Chains A and B, each alone.
Chain A
Amino acid sequence: DTAVSQTPKYLVTQMGNDKSIKCEQNLGHDTMYWYKQDSKKFLKIMFSYNNKELIINETVPNRFSPKSPDKAHLNLHINSLELGDSAVYFCASSQLADRTDTQYFGPGTRLTVL
């Protein structure tokens, strides 16, 4: 009964490929996020969706495209992968409507681009 789940856990791929990471939450939250944690351990927000609507869109290359088919899912598609995309990508969710503070994170997807 994992609260926030991501697949795959590990992803190793060649430069130039296109890949997707999936995220699902069963907490009934209205808001979901994608974060990138690089080799220096900085955790940085990329996107946020509230009720399937994009509310945060940081300066991220347009090779990255999030998609939220419903409130419980937020997927991340990455086109033309580059070496610098290697990082751990975390999905998270929270209940923005209740003004609660806690964001719950998934276990992360470790992406390695060769």
Chain B
Amino acid sequence: RKEVEQDPGPFNVPEGATVAFNCTYSNSASQSFFWYRQDCRKEPKLLMSVYSSGNEDGRFTAQLNRASQYISLLIRDSKLSDSATYLCVVNIDDSSYKLIFGSGTRLLVRP
């Protein structure tokens, strides 16, 4: 079983739509959780951290369910510029800060 699993997509949605991505992780001792965004042929960039109580940043909402080992990202009012690959990322070892990346979920927002 992969340490971090995501649906690869692509998710093809119209502008203005709401879209949700899910991610599961296998290591119950995982410490911290993130969503990164990667544009085509570019480097990954942090989108947001995911906190236990859930957190929101503008149109983006992240949720964590430790019991089910599940993380989600909700994007409201999708923009064309949201088209990218969204990487679910888990830190399984706080002392060395080793990040495990999912293979990403591709989002295409069409006009």
A101 close to B43 (CB less than 8 A): no
B104 close to A41 (CB less than 8 A): yes
A55 close to B43 (CB less than 8 A): no
Residues of B within 8 A of A56 (CB): 96, 98
Instruction: Say how far B55's CB is from chain A's closest CB, in angstroms.
Output: 12
Partner of A105, one of B34, B43, B94, B96: B43
Q: Indicate the size class of the contact surface on chain A.
A: 20 to 34
Residues of A within 8 A of B46 (CB): 101-103
Q: B69 interface residue, CB < 8 Å from A?
A: no
User: 0/1 per residue, B26-46, Cβ < 8 Å to A?
Assistant: 000000101000000011111
Q: Indicate the size class of the contact surface on chain B.
A: 20 to 34
A106 close to B43 (CB less than 8 A): yes
User: 0/1 per residue, B97-110, Cβ < 8 Å to A?
Assistant: 11111011000000
Bound form: Cα–Cα A90–B27 in Å:
25
B96 close to A55 (CB less than 8 A): yes
Residues of A within 8 A of B85 (CB): 41
Residues of A within 8 A of B61 (CB): none
B43 close to A90 (CB less than 8 A): yes
- Chain A residues 65-107 with CB under 8 Å of chain B are 90, 94, 96, 99, 101-103, 105-107
Least CB separation from B94: chain A residue: A99
Least CB separation from B34: chain A residue: A101
A45 close to B103 (CB less than 8 A): no
Bound form: Cα–Cα A2–B80 in Å:
26
Partner of B97, one of A42, A94, A106, A107: A94
Bound form: Cα–Cα A50–B101 in Å:
20
Least CB separation from A48: chain B residue: B96
Q: List 9 A-B contacts (CB under 8 A).
A: A31-B97, A41-B85, A43-B87, A45-B100, A55-B96, A90-B43, A103-B97, A105-B43, A107-B42
